[in-house]
Amino acid sequence: MFKRILISIGSALAMHAVQAAEPVILVFGDSLSAGYGIAANQAWPKLLEQNLAKQGKKYRIVNASVSGETTAGGLTRFPASLKQHQPKWVILALGSNDGLRGLPIASMKQNLGSMIKQAQNAGAKVHLIGMQMPPNYGASYTRQFAAAYPELAKTYKVSLSPFLLEPIIQQNRYFQPDQLHPTAAAQPILLQYILKDFQI
């Protein structure tokens, strides 16, 4: 019995060592990355891990996305996530909830910029994923919101996927009944869109 326990502990330690040796990609977003309404293994971050593994690229995906998160909330959580996971890459996908709440774009940009700087100072590369707002938010707000992400990418010299939902936005069948969150069937499409600009 004692021998079996020792073997079990040894196996667990070995597995932990393997995981620790794998570089981490930290996905830091909201419900669109958390896989709201679908199984966790169907969301695009999990599909990304599988895609990289098929290419022989051994990365461990840590999905720290939280449904409903704003950039201000993310900024509060971000330092602890960086310290805990020490990622090689950070995929930053926040801002949609700022826009849906009509929050100031200047504050959103400041929060995202702060997270990008923190990641870079910690030695991580950053890939930024942008969003866009529907036209009912007003032409000025929607224009400035969409422009915020390319501006940040240029300022901090990071790669960018300008609008996560671009490949499915005109196809209702890829959205859940709330017409906000993508279905499981949409996740591979979103991943392929991200992979056009996120290259390891």
* Integer Cα distance of 65 and 152 in angstroms: 20
Question: Please, where are the H alpha helices in 37-186?
Answer: 44-54, 71-85, 96-100, 105-121, 139-156
**31 is annotated as an active-site residue:** yes
Query: 33, 96, 161, 181: which one is catalytic?
Result: 181
Per the residue annotation, which of 33, 67, 178, 197 is the catalytic one? 178
Marked catalytic residue, from 31, 33, 65, 81 = 31
Nearest to 64 by CA among 36, 26, 37: 26
DSSP SS3 for 3 = helix
Which residue, among 43, 26, 2, has the nearest Cα to 184 in the 3D structure? Answer: 43
**Rounded-to-integer distance, Cα 195 and Cα 200, Å:** 9
Whose tokens are 């017409």? That residue is 179
What does the block give as tokens for 37?
A: 């309404």
Q: Which two tokens stand for residue 128?
A: 């930024």
Residues tagged active-site: 31, 178, 181
